[in-house]
Amino acid sequence: MPSFFGTRDRAGGNAGSNERVPRHSSGWGQILARMRKDESLRVLDIGPTSSGNINLITALGHSIYLANLVEDGTRPEWVLRNEDGTASYDVERFLSAHLNFSGRGFDIVLFWDTADFLPEPLLAPVIERLYEVMAPGGNLLAMFHSASGPSLAPGARTDFCRYHLTETDQVLVQHAGDYPILHSYTNRQIEKLFAAYKASKFFLGKDNVREVIVTR
């Protein structure tokens, strides 16, 4: 299977970059099973918009909300220039712009590999805000690139992907942009990221991408 989780080639391209590549996802399989069992769930899909995701989730009887944090988080408008010449992120304005749901609570959050690409000052506040807007017993699905070699070290370029949902335990992965991986984590570090959550379950994919489902 072609991998969408490696670095870009030197020409900056990727053959078939618009192709949707099927990838087995144990995490999505478990989330899908819950969606088929429970009724009227609220789902937050974080990443580039996919009309297919909207159609699938609404066809299952649930509502879906969208937020694209990685692409928006790289924009210079969120960076503040301090009097001493240093820079910082306007975290509260970012959260208000992207994760303000007017009191709505979510049962499912599809976080995908957002944590690997999100700037450090935004990461912990985003995860904290997601905890706040999730209903007790809610599930969050996240993916993490394994730091198994220099190609996946922090700062390496890799494919930022759109994840298209299917009615099976596969997702269709499609190139959506070029951003540097800003973090790489051990399982213990991932557990610390989601320390406020009451449970976590890990899955290791064949492409060295770890998946985790955490429960609020």
**Mind listing the pLDDT tens digit for each residue in 71-119?**
888 888 898 888 887 888 999 999 999 999 988 899 999 999 999 999 8
Rounded Cα distance between 141 and 200, Å, is 10
**What is the sign of the dihedral through the CA atoms of 171, 175, 177 and 181?**
positive
Residues 143-169: tens digit of each pLDDT: 998 765 444 444 445 678 899 999 999
Question: Residue 133 belongs to what H/E stretch?
Answer: helix 120-133
Tell me, what's the pLDDT at 207?
78
* Number of neighbouring beta carbons within 10 Å of residue 61: 12
The domains found in the chain, sorted by start residue, are 38-215 (3.40.50.150)
Tell me, what's the pLDDT at 158?
63
Model confidence, pTM: 0.87
Confidence bin at 50 (pLDDT 50/70/90): confident
